[in-house]
Structure 1
Amino acid sequence: MNLNVPPISYFVSDGLKLAYFDEGNPNGQPVLLIHGFASTAVANWVNPGWLKVLDEAGYRVIAIDNRGHGMSDKPYDADVYHPWIMAEDAVALLDHLGIPEAHVMGYSMGARVSTFMAITHPDRVRSLVLGGLGIGMVEGVGDWDPIADALLAPSLDDVMHLRGRMFRVFAEQTRSDRQALAACIQGSRDLAAKEDVARIEAPTLIAVGTKDDIAGSAQELADLMPHAEVVDIPNRDHMLAVGDKVFKTAVLEFYKRLEN
């Protein structure tokens, strides 16, 4: 397996045509990957080496392009981007592939979607890996309206907001539909209720960069959950933590413990 873009397939969920890839060992334990805001399955999981690492460890590696992202359909209505709706897309992909249960790993917005999936469809989630999102899951991660404004601005030169600039640059790098992303950021910020998070029985690994100023405390989120553990990703911010070797090693060790 190299880092080339894998073949992309499509399925339909909620009337939308959504893209995904299905790689690795077809007989291995399935790992469903759910990318972050303004990213794609390839940008989040292939380019940083996750597909290669999981494939070499013998897993079946499945990754979705969330609605509004990548090669999936891109509606402009903020109300279709609630995280529990995107969680239904992920479940629909498992249904499409005939997979009853998978390890589910999400990064940032993808961690939020993964959490709602574990809340609403606990029988489909073998384990959870939540990257780039800690207690912000239930307490919020600040004001994201400037990010929507930055995405809709005529040009990057018009964007003064620091985080807004970061996401505008990232959206341009991934050649994203910025209007769809603006709708997504407005619709996808629902918080998970503490009591719902506390009911998640799936074994959970929460991984956050020590320089991440978006996620909130990983330990505080883990403390709400019955079977959660934490890995700190040293000296990494929100953007750089995703491909870090410490994160990958921790996930492989987590999965190995679950198999024993």
Structure 2
Amino acid sequence: MTISTHHWIASDGVDLVWHETGEGRPVVLVHGLFSDAQMNWIKFGHAGQLAAAGFRVIMPDLRAHGASGKPHDPARYPAGILGRDLVELVAKLGLDDYDLGGFSLGSRTSVHGVAQGLIPRRLILAGMGLEGLLGWEKRHEFFLEAFDKFESASRGDRHWFAVQFMKSQKVDRVATRLLLESNSTVTEAMLEQIVMPTLVLCGDDDRDNGSATALAEKLPNATYAEVPGTHTTSVTKKALGAAMVAFLTEG
């Protein structure tokens, strides 16, 4: 599988990156917090599965993540910035008939993108529950606490795994903290805009972002599917990519 990497400049001058593989119908995949396209979509084969199924897989690295710019200026992190970046990327690529999916923060970003005008044919919200959208403040506070305990968290601490993942990903703590502090809220009105066919896809032991089944029930045109694993491990399972392919190719 060949992956190409491309740079583009957002409207506020920040250098951002997307990665691409495959040919065919475009699907834009948005990774989770502290991660990047390589970790969420490429490493465990999900992009490859989609490319083999006839998709052009477009995978941005969010601002403050991966190979994208990591500005330390708070002005570069207004509310809704990740959704705005996503809207600008779709426009830059000239996509008018495409699918969209995200994992965890990528799901929140996809919701923000739809709220800001994106209209994908189909939408995938993975690693996300209702409380992770409408009650983001608790997760937001948890991650800010993890930053505060970056050097002191010990095994058994509830922040331990988050801190270890941040360290493994070599996150830019200044940039990602500024992004978190922007705390872009999802509202009921935003969820009402998600009228396209939507797959809510979650690990069978993933409760990190609340109830995925409640999210599926909340949306007017959604189905729920499970894959094995927790929030951390479900994204490593081939079943995740297989479920995405099945949803995007059905009918």
Q: Which amino acid aligns with 1:227?
A: N
| Partner in structure 2 of residue 39 of structure 1 | 35
C-alpha distance 77-233 of structure 1, shift in aligned 2 (>3 A): farther
How much has 1:154 moved relative to structure 2?
A: 6.2
From 9, 14, 17, the equivalent of 2:15 is 17
CA distance in 2, matches of 1:89, 1:122: 12
- 1:240 is the counterpart of 2:237: no
Structure-2 residue corresponding to 1:253:
246
- Structure 1 pair 77–120 and aligned structure 2 pair: CA distance change class (3 A): same
Give the structure 2 partner of residue 210 of structure 1: 204
Q: Which residue of 2 aligns with 1:181?
A: 176
1:107 aligns with 2:100: no
| Aligned match for 2:59, one of 49, 56, 63 | 63
Residue type at the aligned position of 1:159: A
- Distance change in 2, residues 1:230/1:163 (3 Å): same
Aligned length: 248
AA in 2 matched with 1:246 = A
Q: What code does the residue aligned with 2:72 have? A: Y
Aligned equivalents of 1:51, 1:100: Cα separation in 2: 21
Aligned residue for 1:167? 162
Corresponding position of 1:89: 85
Give the direction of change, closer, same or farther, for the CA distance of 1:98–1:246 in structure 2 (3 Å limit). same
Q: Deviations over 1:205-255 (max 9, x none)?
A: 001112113121112111221111101223x11111113233222211111
Give the unaligned 5+ runs of structure 1: none
* 5+ long unaligned stretches in structure 2: none
Identity %: 29
CA RMSD of aligned residues (A): 2.1
Aligned to 2:5: 8
> After superposition, what is the alpha-carbon deviation per residue over 1:61-83, rounded to whole angstroms, capped at 9, x for unaligned?
10001000011111235564456
TM-score with structure 2 length normalisation?
0.90
Mapped partners of 2:166, 2:139: distance in 1:
18
Matches within 5 A, 1:129-208: 129-136=124-131, 137-140=133-136, 142-151=138-147, 153=149, 155=151, 158-160=152-154, 162-187=157-182, 189-208=183-202
The SS at the match of 1:104 is strand
Q: 1:50 to 1:169 in 2, by over 3 A?
A: same
